[in-house]
Amino acid sequence: MAGNKTRPNAHSVARLLKGLDDSQQQTDSRQLLKLMQAFTQAKSRMWGPASSVSAACITAMLAGARATPA
């Protein structure tokens, strides 16, 4: 069976959010990040080869906060 092609990378979620041009998107994204981290009890991480994403992809990026299966 082939492994996942999309893997966590070393890029910073905080740096990505800080780089958003729209202050409301920054605020909303940080609140969503806090909620997801509280729910999953896991640290968020960036996934895939890119070091930046469009604002429309923020939710998908934050999905990296999901808990790793035991």
Report if residue 6 sits inside a domain: no
- The answer to the question of residue 4 being in a domain is no
**How confident is the model over 47-70, as a mean pLDDT?**
54
Q: How many domains does the chain have?
A: 1
Report DSSP letters for the chain, one per residue: -PPPS--B-S--HHHHHHT-S-HHHHHHHHHHHHHHHHHH-S----BSS-S---GGGHHHHHGGGSPPP-
Domain annotation covers residue 1:
no
Whether 7 is covered by a domain: the verdict is no
Is the residue at 55 inside a domain?
A: yes
Q: Which residue range is the domain that position 59 belongs to?
A: 13-65
Whether 45 is covered by a domain: the verdict is yes
What's the average model confidence in pLDDT over 5-20? Answer: 83
Q: Is the pLDDT of residue 66 over 70?
A: no
Q: Tell me if 38 is assigned to some domain.
A: yes
Tell me the pTM: 0.62
14 has pLDDT over 50: yes
Question: Tell me: the pLDDT tens digits for 32-58?
Answer: 888 888 888 888 888 777 666 554 455
- Structure confidence at residue 64 as a pLDDT band (50, 70, 90): low
Residue 63, C-beta contacts closer than 8 angstroms, at least 6 positions apart: 36, 47
